[in-house]
Structure 1
Amino acid sequence: MRTGRIIAPPPPENRPASVENPASVEPPVEARAEESAEKMTASAKFTTAAAQNSRLKTSVGWIFGGKQQQGWQIYEPLIRETIKAETDAGSNEFAAALSQRQKSAGLSPSGILDEQTFRSFVADWQTNRLKHRSPATAEELVGGLPADFYDPGRSPELRQIERETYAAYKRMVAAAAADKSLNLKANPDGALAANERFLKIVSSHRSKEYQNQLRAASPNSGRAALAVNFSPHFTGRALDIYVGGEPVSTEDNNRLAQINTPVYQWLVKNAAQFGFRPYFYEPWHWEYVGANGQIDLITE
């Protein structure tokens, strides 16, 4: 009986890696060294930028509303959300994310949040605000429940809200109440409890006539005059929402306290999902522009 022979396969050819197996191709030593040097340079660049940002956040000067402003720390939550940075403004990661945003905006990608860069943020935030400027009609307004207001004793005519805006607000508040990290007091039905102040409405629809009365009562109040001419509250789509501190005081210390509350930071991250955009200068002021962010971005 003849036994079969097992023929061993020939030894593999000692061939160099080729394009057929690109994974086995290592970059030349010079290329690896160049890449390493670039990473080190970028790291050093962003370390320097981070140090600059830590200083500029409280010192850079800029003008808004005819008044000298100092620093941008009050707007840091909005900035971080805009550039999708999870770390604070004094970190390398923040500087790197800012650099990418600067590059896309046609600015020098330094990673340093200087006055020019900050003004570009302000321009974008203002562009995204409500442009609809038609006064709300009686048919468009609904009466808000007293329990939804910071002052439940507010008169019925001052509790009116544009219909879609109110529905969106209720959905947003229900989502916030369901977020256990906020520790909001809520009823079994998910609505905010009567003794919960956060996220209650401080002010909603204000007619131009009412705003004229405010100006007449306080003729030296720049804020009242500004409200008459530019505030979108008469559309019924702007809400002042309680986020802490003095409800609507523009004092820097008050606004700084407000932007550090969990509810404000939650709004910054989540309000857009419900169609609301912020007025950057007032942490309490939010405007309903529609669920897709475009419905009411109309210049008349």
Structure 2
Amino acid sequence: MTFKPSTPLRFLGGLALTAVILGLVVLRVTSCAPVSKPHATAARPPSVAPAPRAPAPLPPQAPSACNVGPADAARANAGSLKTLVWAPFGRSETGWATYAPLIAREIRTACAPDTPAFAAALAAWTAGQRLPADGVMTPVIFVRLKTVIQLRRPFVRLSGQGVCPDPPPASALSWAAPAEGYGGKLVQLRPGAFAAYRQMVAAARREDPRIAADPRALTLFSGFRDPASDAGRCAREGNCNNVQRATCSAHRTGLAMDLYVGEAPGFPPDSSADANRLYISRTPTYRWLVVNADRFGFVPYPFEPWHWEWTGEAP
């Protein structure tokens, strides 16, 4: 007797076969389907790096200690100190002696720039910056030093973002006392900057008799400058956007000031001539500022030894 599947069995078998085929089709489709990409996350704006910390106060150093270090590097530095032809601020100049006090402060040495100990301190600093650590000053090393010093200026960090801060309203500015202005000049600053300035001047005169003996020392010959009048002046003189005067000047903030720190014979105190800047870099007043101004919240502009900015308020 031959077995013949009944109609119900044939129907159930067909359903099973259909289910298997559908399962294979579904498996095939889902395994080949493209994987959906995750939603892109909006990029966060880069945060502004904080200002580099000022170097710690210098420890006392005996004169004999300045003779310890790489002699070859010291000889190389002694030569380039007066002969290096370069343009650290976009203008050709010879030698780096003008910047030696700031460099010494940054690398934490009180020794002269042509000594072995200066070379040793420079080598230690550059090693921390992943630069050649042979103790020889080069333009590449100075660029790094300049960058570190410049980034302590809040105005520079803002400018790096393409921001030119608005000037403060007239009601937010104060006038210097007549004795505080160089030659009796009228100067305006923000009150907080004035308070810090007065504390700094008092300390300088108390700590260095040579500064106390010169009534002109640390007097103000420029402070707040109205952007409109500043723009008109630089347009008339044709030097709006160089190291001497920028179209967006830090003086618009009421936090930047030009101080009398000396002048070479035949030059005004704010002459950017190399001879004048070199002379100023050797004065007791400037040397005191380099070592002590940060105690009161002031940072320098390396190209102009007379230009200092207070960091106690945002520009």
Question: Fold-level match, TM-score > 0.5?
Answer: yes
The CA deviation at 1:44 is 9.7
The CA deviation at 1:137 is 1.9
Structure 1 residues 139 and 252, CA, compared in 2 at 3 Å: closer, same or farther? same
What is aligned with 1:230?
A: 248
Structure 2 residue 118 is the aligned partner of structure 1 residue 118:
no
Structure 2 residue 247 is the aligned partner of structure 1 residue 198:
no
What is aligned with 2:176?
A: 144
Q: C-alpha deviations, 1:58-105, integer Å up to 9, x for none?
A: 222332443223221100000011111111011111111101000000
What is aligned with 1:281?
A: 303
Equivalent runs, 1:119-268 vs 2, <5 Å: 119-131=143-155, 133-152=165-184, 154-155=185-186, 159-185=187-213, 196-218=215-237, 220-221=238-239, 227-245=245-263, 246-268=268-290
- Normalization by structure 2: what TM-score? 0.70
Structure 1 residues 45 and 222, CA, compared in 2 at 3 Å: closer, same or farther? same
Unaligned ranges ≥5, structure 2 = 1-66, 159-164
Q: Does the CA contact (< 8 Å) of 1:211 and 1:228 recur in 2?
A: no
What is aligned with 1:23?
A: none
Partner AA of 1:214 in structure 2: R
Q: Does the CA contact (< 8 Å) of 1:214 and 1:224 recur in 2?
A: no
Deviating more after overlay: 251-260 vs 221-230? 221-230
Structure 2 residue 291 is the aligned partner of structure 1 residue 269:
yes
Distance 1:144 1:237 in 2: 13
The CA deviation at 1:135 is 1.2
SS at match of 1:57: helix
Structure 1 residues 278 and 59, CA, compared in 2 at 3 Å: closer, same or farther? same
Structure 2 residue 78 is the aligned partner of structure 1 residue 54:
yes
CA radius of gyration, larger in = 2
SS at match of 1:249: coil
The CA deviation at 1:275 is 0.4
Partner AA of 1:230 in structure 2: C
Runs (4 or more) in structure 1 with deviation over 6 Å come to none
Distance 1:107 1:224 in 2: 29
Structure 1 residues 173 and 127, CA, compared in 2 at 3 Å: closer, same or farther? same
Structure 2 residue 106 is the aligned partner of structure 1 residue 82:
yes
Distance 1:260 1:105 in 2: 28
Partner AA of 1:273 in structure 2: R
Q: Does the CA contact (< 8 Å) of 1:161 and 1:205 recur in 2?
A: yes
SS at match of 2:147: helix
Q: Does the CA contact (< 8 Å) of 1:150 and 1:242 recur in 2?
A: yes
What is aligned with 2:90?
A: 66
- Aligned pair count? 237
